[in-house]
Amino acid sequence: MGLVSSCPEDKIGRVIACLTSLTGEHENSSSALLSEMDVREMEKYCRGGSTAMLDCITVLFDNCTKAEDRQILVRFADRQRLNSTFIRFCENFDVYSSNSGCISSQEQSVHSCIEDSKRPWVPLGPMHRFCRHFKTWHECRTGPVTRACGRQTGEVIGIFLQGITPPICQGYLHRDTESTAHVSSACYSHLVVGVILSFLFVHSLTKR
C-alpha cells in the first residue's frame, strides 16, 4: 500500500484500504490478525511504535487538511481511538503471540464463516452493507479463535477489531436495517455510496 503525498480524490477508499490491512498488503487483508505476517507487524509496532495501518492513516490525515476532507475522514477513522486500540493490544501482546499458531490455524474457519454470512443477505443499502462487512469481520474472527484458542485470546482479537471499526459503524447492529439510517442522509452520501460499492466489489474479489 503506497503512502500518498497529497490528499487523494478517493479519500474514503484510501482510509478504508488503510483500515483493512495491518501490513499494507491489501491483498492479504482477509487474514487480519491471523497470519504470521500480522504477528510480525504487531510485534514491530509494540516494540517500535510503527505499523503500516497507523502510518497510512497518519499520512492521509496529514495530507487532507481541508475542513471538508477532515469532516469525511473522521467518520471513518478516529486516530485517538486507533492509537489507544494498538496500545491496548500491546498490553496483551504476549497472549496473542503465544497463541499465534492456534490463531493462524483458524483461517479456514474464519473464511467459511465470512462466506456463510453472505448467504442470508437481503438487498441492503451501501452503508448497511459496508458496516455489516466490519461487523461480520469482527464476529467471524472472534468466534472461531475464542472456541479454539480460549476466551482471553478471543477477547484480545475482538477488542482490537472493534477498535479499528470505523466510527460511522460503531454501535451498528447487522440484523437491524435501521441502525445505519442516520448516515444515509449525510451530505456526502452520494460519494460514500460510490466508493463503498467499489470497495465491496474489490474486496469480494480478494476472497476468491
Q: pLDDT by residue (tens digit) across 138-190?
A: 899 999 999 999 999 999 999 999 999 999 888 776 555 554 444 444 444 44
CA gap 79, 124 in Å, rounded: 29
How many Cβ atoms are within 10 Å of 166's Cβ, its own excluded?
19
Q: What is the pTM of this model?
A: 0.79
pLDDT at 114: 84
> Most distant CA pair in the chain: distance in Å?
47
CA torsion through residues 115, 117, 121, 125, sign: negative
Counting as low any pLDDT under 50, the low residues of the chain are: 1, 28, 179-191, 193-194, 197, 200-208
CA gap 3, 204 in Å, rounded: 23
Contacts of 39 (CB under 8 A, 6+ apart): 96, 97, 100
CA distances in angstroms from 135 to 17, 43, 142, 168, listed in the order given: 16, 25, 11, 12
Three cell numbers written together for 111: 473464511
What is the tally of helices (H) and strands (E) in the chain? 12, 0
pLDDT at 116: 83
pLDDT at 197: 47
- 22, 52 contact by CB (below 8 A): yes
pLDDT at 173: 65
Burial of 59 (0-12, 13-18, 19+ CB in 10 A): middle
pLDDT at 33: 83
